[in-house]
Every structure is written in C-alpha cells, then in structure tokens.
Structure 1
Amino acid sequence: MGQQELIQASPSRSFRLRSRSLNSLRLRRIFDMFDKNGDSMITVEEINQALSLLGLEAEFKELESMIKSYIKPGNVGLEYEDFVALHESLGETYFGVPDEKEEETQNEDLWEAFKVFDENGDGYISAKELQVVLGKLGLVEGNMIDNVQKMIVSVDTNHDGRVDFCEFKDMMRTTIVRC
C-alpha cells in the first residue's frame, strides 16, 4: 500500500491513539510497553507484537511502510522522539482538525481502550482482568496481584472493587504530567 493509499484509508477505531487527553506521560508509557527489550527503541516487530497481544491486528507491511520514514538512518527502530512524531503525524493524517464531535470521538476512543481491559465484557475492569492485560504486555505487574489491586483501588471512586467506564474515563482525563 502506498503513502497516498494510507492517507485515504480509514483506520480502525481500535488502532487510534489520538486524543487531546492523551498526554506525554501516557505516550511514554505506551512507548515503554512496546519496547520489549528495553533498548529505548521500538522496532516494527515490537509494535506489531504489542498490537497483536492487545487484539489489535495490523498488517506488518502496512505498519512497516507507515513507520520506516520515522526511523532515523542507522537505527533499527523508533526512538521516543520518533514515536512522538509518528503519533502526531497519525493524528494529523487520520483525524485532521478537531471539530464539534471531538468529545464523542474521545469517548469512543476511551471505550475502545476500556474494552481491551474488560476482557469478559461485563462493563467493569477487575484486578484479575487488569493483571491479565499487564501480563500480556510483559509488564512485571502482571505477576503481582497485590500491586494490581492497589491500582484498582486508586481509581475505584465508588469502592466496589472494580473500575467502571466512568471511573476509567475520569482517570484517563485527569492524569496530569509534571515536568
């Protein structure tokens, strides 16, 4: 698929990363999750693997075509700054200038993200579900249920032991980055 075709293609809602509430801390966390070997660089293979583990299938050749122009000469993958540039480009290419439907789009994006964690589809994220997703991503918290339960408690405003969509949305929209 050529660059012109990529620009005209409609991305799946599951692949969207763009949202005004997605700040640099969240983007850095995504980068670190994709960087499986910890070399501060993510390859097309690492991105493809992470997306696949999250159930977001993408054609390898399309990913490679989209990403290769952001990889600096001599590098085997994207450094963080390259990843940010790619993210910004995807936003401009696929989503253009925000309009009055931005709030609705953000809710749809957040709902798609929520569904990744709500594995059984009951409308709640339990500690066990969060632990499973973190484990799929290869994060150490995937083996530490006590830490995962603390994560749930920190977001669980109604104290029912799980995270509903409103709590998830509030958490995603209120994270503030301190530089």
Structure 2
Amino acid sequence: MANSTAPPISTQVAHPSPSFRLRSESLNSLRLRRVFDLFDRNGDGEITIEEICQALDRLGLGADPAELTSTVTAYIRPGAAGLAFDDFQSLHRTLGDALFGDPPSGGEAAEEEDMLEAFNVFDENGDGFISAKELQIVLDKLGLPDGQSIDRVHQMICSVDRDRDGLVDFSEFKHMMRTITVQSN
C-alpha cells in the first residue's frame, strides 16, 4: 500500500514517453509485470532500491540513489525489503498521475490504438503478423527465458493462433490481450 506521507514526485522529465501509461489496463499490467520481473534480478518477488538503481543504470537512466530512496521507501510495506508487485503498481500509478495527470481514457478507439502500438513492437518486419522468430527476438530483448527455446516460442504462438497458420495476426493478438489477467506473486 502506498503511504499517504509519500514525498512529492519530481515532474522534471523532459519529454516523457506517451506509452508510460497505456489506456488498456491489460496491456499496462502485462508490461508492468514484465518490467517488475526484469528489475527483480534475484527473483524473490520484491524489487529493492538497489535493484532499481542497477536496472536504471543498465538502461542508461542513472538516478540519484538518495532521491530514489526517499521516493521509493514510502511505497515499501513495513517489514519488507523492497517493493512487491502491488507496491510497484502503486508507485507507477503515482508517477503517471504526477507526470501526465488523470489516467488516459478514450474508449475502444484509444484501446485499439494502444494494442496496435504493442502489436507493432512484436511485428518487427511490419507484415501484419507476429512470427515465432519475431516473438523470440522480442522475448530475448526483454531478457525472458522463454525466448531461449524456439520450441517454447512455437508453443506460445500455437496457444493464441486461432486460424492455425503459425502466425499471430492483430485480431488474435487483441483476443489474447483482452483475456490476459496478470497475477502478482
């Protein structure tokens, strides 16, 4: 739970990414879960301030450890060593509100736009389909172990490939994204 005495969040970001907070809750949760898992280097279900500093450094976004500590500590539950996924979501939501104001809205058209943006991340060659090789490349870039086995990637494709053509089209991708529920550890 976020502490009501959390220090104000600095909003001095030059040009924050418009995809910091997507309109689609399932896309946001999935993406945030992936980020959480990447930051949680030891896999203990918590992200420590040290792990956040290391991740930001690897991304070339070095942060002042003292400032980061003062902001993040307010979101760490008493007795915990770091942020649990729910705490991380609260911090992300607060940062989004501080940087962008109210959560984005816009109905189905806006959600469709977000899904197309996410789909295009995977569709590297722009042909309108996600192949096993494209999925493997993205999973590898994210540092996810599923990307190390092409057999596992093919299984992932088959699990959402409703027309059985070996590719994921945008319709199949949307269906998959709308049925995803992200669970915290």
Same fold (TM over 0.5): yes
1:117 aligned to which of 119, 122, 127: 122
**Aligned CA-pair RMSD:** 3.7
Q: Match for residue 13 of structure 1? A: 18
Query: Counterparts in 2 of 1:19-98, with a 5 A limit?
Result: 19-22=24-27, 27-42=32-47, 43-45=51-53, 47-48=55-56, 59-61=61-63, 69-71=71-73, 72=76, 78-93=83-98, 94=100, 96=102
Q: Partners of 2:11 and 2:143 in 1: how far apart?
A: 35
Query: Counterparts in 2 of 1:139-158, with a 5 A limit?
Result: 139-158=144-163
Moved more, 102-111 or 160-169: 102-111
- Given the superposition, is the C-alpha separation of residues 133 and 26 from structure 1 closer, same or farther in structure 2, using an over 3 Å criterion? closer
Are the equivalent residues in 1 in contact too, given 2:27–2:115 (CA < 8 A)?
no
> With structure 2 as the length reference, what TM-score do the two structures score?
0.68
**Can you give the 5+ residue segments of structure 1 that lack an aligned partner in the other structure?**
53-57
Instruction: Write out per-residue CA displacement over residues 102-137 of structure 1, whole angstroms, 9 at most, x where no aligned residue.
Output: 322222222222122122222211111111111222
- Given the superposition, is the C-alpha separation of residues 49 and 111 from structure 1 closer, same or farther in structure 2, using an over 3 Å criterion? farther
Q: Match for residue 173 of structure 1? A: 178
Q: Partners of 2:174 and 2:63 in 1: how far apart?
A: 33
Q: Match for residue 3 of structure 2? A: none
SS at match of 2:143: coil
> With structure 1 as the length reference, what TM-score do the two structures score?
0.70
1:3 to 2:4 alignment: no
Deviation at 1:39, TM superposition (A): 3.8
- How many residues were matched structurally? 169
Q: Partners of 1:178 and 1:44 in 2: how far apart?
A: 21
Aligned residues with identical type, % of pairs? 51
- Given the superposition, is the C-alpha separation of residues 38 and 173 from structure 1 closer, same or farther in structure 2, using an over 3 Å criterion? same
Q: Partners of 1:18 and 1:44 in 2: how far apart?
A: 25
The structure with the largest alpha-carbon Rg is 2
2:167 aligned to which of 162, 168, 179: 162
Q: Match for residue 137 of structure 1? A: 142
Moved more, 134-143 or 11-20: 11-20
Structure with bigger helix share is: 1
Q: Partners of 1:111 and 1:136 in 2: how far apart?
A: 20
What letter corresponds to residue 142 of structure 2 in structure 1? Answer: L
- Given the superposition, is the C-alpha separation of residues 176 and 79 from structure 1 closer, same or farther in structure 2, using an over 3 Å criterion? closer
- Given the superposition, is the C-alpha separation of residues 173 and 49 from structure 1 closer, same or farther in structure 2, using an over 3 Å criterion? farther
**Can you give the 5+ residue segments of structure 2 that lack an aligned partner in the other structure?**
1-8
